[in-house]
Structure 1
Amino acid sequence: MAMLGLVLAVALCLGSASAASLGTVLTEGGMVSGDNYGVSGLFRYMDVFKGIPFAAPPGRFEKPKPHPGWDGVLKAKDFSKRCLQPNLLMTDTRGAEDCLYLNVWVPQGRKEVSTNLPVMVWIYGGAFLVGGSSGANFLNNYLYDGEEIANRGRVIVVTLSYRVGTLGFLSTGDDGLPGNYGLWDQHAGIAWVHRNIRAFGGDPDNITVFGQSAGGASVNFQLISPKNKGLIRRGISQSGVALCPWAVNRNPREVAELVAAKVGCPTDDKMATCLKMTDPVALTLAGSFNMHGSADAPVVNNLVLSPVIDGDFLPDEPSNLFGNAAEMDYIAGANDMDGHLFAGIDVPSLNQPIQHTPLEDLKTLMAAFTKEKGPQAAELAFGEYSHTWGNKPTKEEIKRGVVEVETDYIFLVPTQAALYQHNSVATTGRTYSYLFSQASRMPGYPSWMGADHADDLQFVFGKPFATPLGYWPKYRDVSRYMIAYWTNFAKTGDPNQGESDVPVTWPAFNNETHKYVDINHEMGRNSVKQKMRLRFVNYWTNTYASLPTNSQ
């Protein structure tokens, strides 16, 4: 045994001495050097570059411009600051205006550097208001660390920054401040990857963009915008698409005038000029929103700093732009209780196990979501969600009803609509649908709780492997499955085909079979299902949509 240990030690030393590494890389802006270190798996290594600028420091309310470059070698070893944004309490700000940077993880073998690898570009969520390319950090364990995906799936992972909040999405609805600066930042980052990733060992013609929540909607926007033609091969939207009710602001002028009033700017034709000259911290705080919600004023309705139909990046309604993604492969899905995070704010009794949730709260919530169609819509919605209850619904049925209506309205139904839309116009592009149902690990949640909003992130980014003491073995199974599906898809456009084994064959989605895969730790042949919540998809997309709009 002692001899075996010595042999292994010598082998590891020799491996590290001959570790494959890119060393210094030449990009369009200049030379960059990162870190190289060993990762799990015998003779496996990772090149990591953090904080590479993909655009110049952005001008206020302007599209991003090319970076002027630098002399010497840029040491890309630390994450850059986030883009300027409110803190989570909405009382102060964090980050900086100079924030357009990206990070790259490149998996290497023992001797030869990798070439022609598929590339996965991550777009973070955060309601278009907060977020960063490295994600939340606890003891230097960053949520969006690309190491596990890159190593296990043999892909290059890139995470990029984009402007959020007022500086990223404020719009006057005209040429004064056209908006969508954050989407233009994402586009600039993707274009930089397309131009430069070959130098890192990547295939510029095999780029998959993936993201969650506002990042998932951003992925959808990038796929359907005519500005990305030839740049993107595939996309994965987790809990967010362009058709979500919070994804597009159709009355941006109203929001701009509210922000202008808060910072002391006029609301006439001088508004745009004044806003461009205003302190960025004041602008950012003026765009923060009230985190409080109620059944009659759901918190999701406060998410008003979002993309706009600007006639440029988004030349039309998103539903009319899916033809631009006809040749792109697309995965989209939701968590089975994605709306719980929002429902708990709107109806606080939801998470009190002893306390009843009044039936009136559910009816009030439905009336708030269907307000533009009037009382009849609320009555019809209540009939749909209570059709199995009988005369005396249980405490759990009412609470689950609250979560279901928020999940369907905010995430699940729009996601299904986007899948149908993509499939109906796709030529060579394939379509895949999923539901993530691994029950939340958060303590204190109800016993009937499923997967909450953002619960999927830890598994996609391999946290059960990176921090094994915090997870049971079943969670490593979920993580393994998701990384396998996601990276196979990035390689081939088919989540079943690639270097990674999958637990069950995931069938393509189409308008006839409506098939999807239910992702959790117990995956098997029963995990392939069809017609995801079709009754409720039909209600919102057909019955509700066909009702006349309330004229009041």
Structure 2
Amino acid sequence: METLKILLPLVFLLGTTSAASLGVVQTVGGSVQGLNIPLGLFRSVDVFKGIPFAAKPGTFEKPRPHPGWSGVLKATKFAPRCLQLSVLQTSSWGSEDCLYLNIWVPHGRHVSSNLPVMVWFYGGGFMVGGSMGPNFLNNFLYSGQEISDRGDVIVVSVGYRVGTLGFLSTGDSGLPGNYGLWDQHAAIAWVHRNIHAFGGDQDNVTIFGESAGGASVNFQMLSPHNRGLFRRAISQSGVALCPWALNRNPRKVTEEVAVKVDCPTDDRMVDCLRSTDAKTLCMASPMIQQGSPDHPGVRNLLLSPVVDGDFLPDHPANLFHNAADVDFIAGVNIMDGHLFTAQDIPSLGNKSQDTPVQDVRRLLAAYTEEKGPAGAELAFAEYSSSWTATPSQEDIKRTAVDVGTDFIFLVPTQTAVHLHAAHAASGRTFSYLLSEPSLMAGPGKPYHAWVGADHADDLQFVFGKPFATPKAYTDRHRDLSGYMIAYWTNFARTGDPSRGSLTVPVVWPRFTSAGQKFLDISAKMNDSSTGQEMRSRFVHLWASTIPSLPSNHSSAAH
């Protein structure tokens, strides 16, 4: 017994002290040292926080290389997030000096080498967001620790400019825009150049992101500037073809911002904007307004990427040839539109209030505005075709959510998946639908019992929150999180989500133009968890039937 008492602490001590660590790492800019976190017997993770990947950016300028530093940079604190509006839009926070990244490197008994690398881009509508420190109270949503440790991959999260400073554009060479996309590109290039020193394989980089981050991933795939810098990409609930992801009339917003900061809107405007204080520009950002069925909120995301003839030489739909050799996963949550549609139609989320059929009609009319009444009638006929003569409130509300999900996320994502598969050379295509019920749904909870995975519900599972904060979740959620981490990291390792270091519950079939297969992801997966032609009736409606209708000039003018 005495021997055991002596041995146990010794075994534990050996486990923690023998876990490998990188120590000081040499990067192009200088030496960095992070923190080593022991995770158990012969397992640890090195965490580097706040490594600069570019210099402090000039206002409306592309990022420039960092000048470097002398001595050893202690990479133990998150850098500030990029300057942005606060939640209430009454003040700003963050910094102009925000082009930093964080790295998680897992180790076993020996220091890791040649690991797959996963680079994360946060969402936030191109207006807000960050992966620097806690997102909510003390919960740091984008910690790469669980993915890194469980999947044996290096995780990198990066900062990029958002709002006016990231995406203001005149639509010409004066203020070309896309500064936030250039920041992301600079981070990818930095990873490609430096990650080998951290034990990563620079020839096996996967970029992944959610919402505006998912659209960013897709933009990075389509830009000719990234050729050879990464091999794989995952877009969660956002692609470049989403109606909110590309601004077709950027000058209008820029002139509105100019007026707010007392700049002229003639040929002096750009010089005046460039010399305006960054916080003032940030506060002049167009407000994210509360939507209504006639003016859906998604139309209020007014600062986003543009076709600039440089980073994006053409409309995204015409650039998929640039991603012919990139492996691509893209998917959505089954009720991605719930968060947005419940803002546009407040009665939808209210358990004790009815939603009038008229509100569904008004929402469809807003989404088909340029086609006039014919588009709205056609869409309503399609969406209400399964209703009875007197539809229940659940039917009406669920239909409204389906309309939002299809228009804002699902149809553009399916279109992107089709385009990727059609242009693929060596690149493989995979499609998914996350159909897990929402944690917020059910008796005593805010959402109706029928609400499935809402926008951003995937994040907690991909980042392993059910393992990191076990009390907040059940075994079911840990199963789902384990599946998603396995699929995501296997894909990063091999280009096939079913093949790699981790076992998966169901083989995920490739998406091809002929088969159009997808994986239905949930906590309870079995052989019937694969499907074909995801909501093809509605994909056809939005991607083909409605666009082919003649435009209604009176509504287009308005």
Q: Given the two structures, how large is their TM-score scaled by the length of structure 1?
A: 0.98
Give 1:266 shift: 0.6
Gaps in structure 2 of 5+ consecutive residues: none
Q: Check the 8 A contact 1:518/1:527 in 2, yes or no.
A: yes
Counterpart secondary structure, 1:445: coil
**Could you list the per-position Cα deviations for residues 389-442 of structure 1 after superposition, in whole angstroms to 9, with x for gaps in the alignment?**
021111111101110000000000000000000000001100000001111112
Which residue is 2:150 aligned to? 152
**Could you list the per-position Cα deviations for residues 164-222 of structure 1 after superposition, in whole angstroms to 9, with x for gaps in the alignment?**
00000000111111000000000000000000000000000000000000000000000
Equivalent-residue separation in structure 1 for 2:86 and 2:505 (angstroms): 40
Which residue is 1:54 aligned to? 53
How do 1:508-519 and structure 2 match up within 5 A?
508-519=510-521
Counterpart secondary structure, 2:457: coil
Code of the residue aligned with 1:148 in structure 2: it is E
Q: Check the 8 A contact 1:432/1:508 in 2, yes or no.
A: yes
Which residue is 2:94 aligned to? 95
Code of the residue aligned with 1:190 in structure 2: it is I
Which residue is 2:382 aligned to? 384
Code of the residue aligned with 2:299 in structure 1: it is N
Equivalent-residue separation in structure 2 for 1:215 and 1:85 (angstroms): 16
Counterpart secondary structure, 1:141: coil
Give 1:2 shift: 7.0
Code of the residue aligned with 1:246 in structure 2: it is W
2:246 to 213, 226, 248: 248
**Could you list the per-position Cα deviations for residues 90-116 of structure 1 after superposition, in whole angstroms to 9, with x for gaps in the alignment?**
111110000000000000012x20000
**Could you list the per-position Cα deviations for residues 270-305 of structure 1 after superposition, in whole angstroms to 9, with x for gaps in the alignment?**
111011111211211211423311000000000010
Give 1:17 shift: 2.5
Distance 1:498 1:6, change over 3 A: farther
2:341 to 343, 351, 357: 343
Give 1:150 shift: 0.2
Q: Check the 8 A contact 2:286/2:302 in 1, yes or no.
A: no
Give 1:355 shift: 1.2
Which residue is 1:312 aligned to? 310
Which residue is 2:67 aligned to? 68
Moved segments of 4+, more than 6 Å: none
Equivalent-residue separation in structure 1 for 2:324 and 2:288 (angstroms): 39
Equivalent-residue separation in structure 2 for 1:412 and 1:481 (angstroms): 22
Counterpart secondary structure, 1:545: coil
Which residue is 1:544 aligned to? 546
2:430 to 414, 432, 442: 432
Q: Check the 8 A contact 1:134/1:143 in 2, yes or no.
A: no
Equivalent-residue separation in structure 2 for 1:125 and 1:175 (angstroms): 27
Distance 1:547 1:467, change over 3 A: same
Equivalent-residue separation in structure 1 for 2:450 and 2:476 (angstroms): 19
Which residue is 1:109 aligned to? 108
Equivalent-residue separation in structure 1 for 2:3 and 2:91 (angstroms): 60
Distance 1:3 1:546, change over 3 A: farther
How do 1:369-518 and structure 2 match up within 5 A?
369-442=367-440, 443-518=445-520
Q: What is the aligned-residue identity percentage?
A: 64
Distance 1:22 1:390, change over 3 A: same
Which residue is 1:217 aligned to? 215
Deviates more, 1:294-303 or 1:523-532: 523-532
Equivalent-residue separation in structure 1 for 2:388 and 2:43 (angstroms): 59
CA-atom RMSD, angstroms? Answer: 1.1
Distance 1:6 1:349, change over 3 A: farther
Deviates more, 1:529-538 or 1:307-316: 529-538
Q: Does 1:523 align with 2:497?
A: no
**Could you list the per-position Cα deviations for residues 249-268 of structure 1 after superposition, in whole angstroms to 9, with x for gaps in the alignment?**
01001110011111111100
Give 1:373 shift: 1.1
1:202 to 171, 193, 200: 200
Q: Given the two structures, how large is their TM-score scaled by the length of structure 2?
A: 0.97
Equivalent-residue separation in structure 2 for 1:306 and 1:260 (angstroms): 17
Which residue is 1:231 aligned to? 229
Counterpart secondary structure, 1:137: coil
Q: Check the 8 A contact 2:80/2:132 in 1, yes or no.
A: no
Equivalent-residue separation in structure 2 for 1:441 and 1:134 (angstroms): 25
Counterpart secondary structure, 1:456: helix
Code of the residue aligned with 2:164 in structure 1: it is T
Deviates more, 1:277-286 or 1:362-371: 277-286
2:255 to 229, 249, 257: 257
Equivalent-residue separation in structure 2 for 1:281 and 1:37 (angstroms): 37
Q: Check the 8 A contact 1:134/1:145 in 2, yes or no.
A: no
Distance 1:2 1:292, change over 3 A: farther
Equivalent-residue separation in structure 1 for 2:194 and 2:102 (angstroms): 13
Give 1:3 shift: 5.0
Which residue is 1:78 aligned to? 77
Counterpart secondary structure, 1:205: strand
Q: Check the 8 A contact 2:320/2:423 in 1, yes or no.
A: yes
Code of the residue aligned with 1:254 in structure 2: it is K
Q: Check the 8 A contact 1:38/1:45 in 2, yes or no.
A: yes
Counterpart secondary structure, 2:104: strand
**Could you list the per-position Cα deviations for residues 503-526 of structure 1 after superposition, in whole angstroms to 9, with x for gaps in the alignment?**
100000011111111111011111
Q: Does 1:17 align with 2:17?
A: yes
Distance 1:347 1:6, change over 3 A: farther
Equivalent-residue separation in structure 2 for 1:243 and 1:136 (angstroms): 30
Code of the residue aligned with 1:515 in structure 2: it is K
Q: Check the 8 A contact 1:123/1:159 in 2, yes or no.
A: yes
Q: Check the 8 A contact 1:424/1:511 in 2, yes or no.
A: yes
1:119 to 117, 120, 142: 117
Q: Does 1:359 align with 2:361?
A: no
Distance 1:551 1:6, change over 3 A: farther
Equivalent-residue separation in structure 1 for 2:249 and 2:383 (angstroms): 30
Equivalent-residue separation in structure 1 for 2:395 and 2:162 (angstroms): 38
Distance 1:539 1:211, change over 3 A: same
Q: Check the 8 A contact 2:332/2:434 in 1, yes or no.
A: yes
Code of the residue aligned with 2:487 in structure 1: it is Y
Give 1:15 shift: 2.6
Equivalent-residue separation in structure 2 for 1:287 and 1:439 (angstroms): 35
Equivalent-residue separation in structure 1 for 2:176 and 2:369 (angstroms): 28
The number of aligned residues is 550
Equivalent-residue separation in structure 2 for 1:445 and 1:498 (angstroms): 37
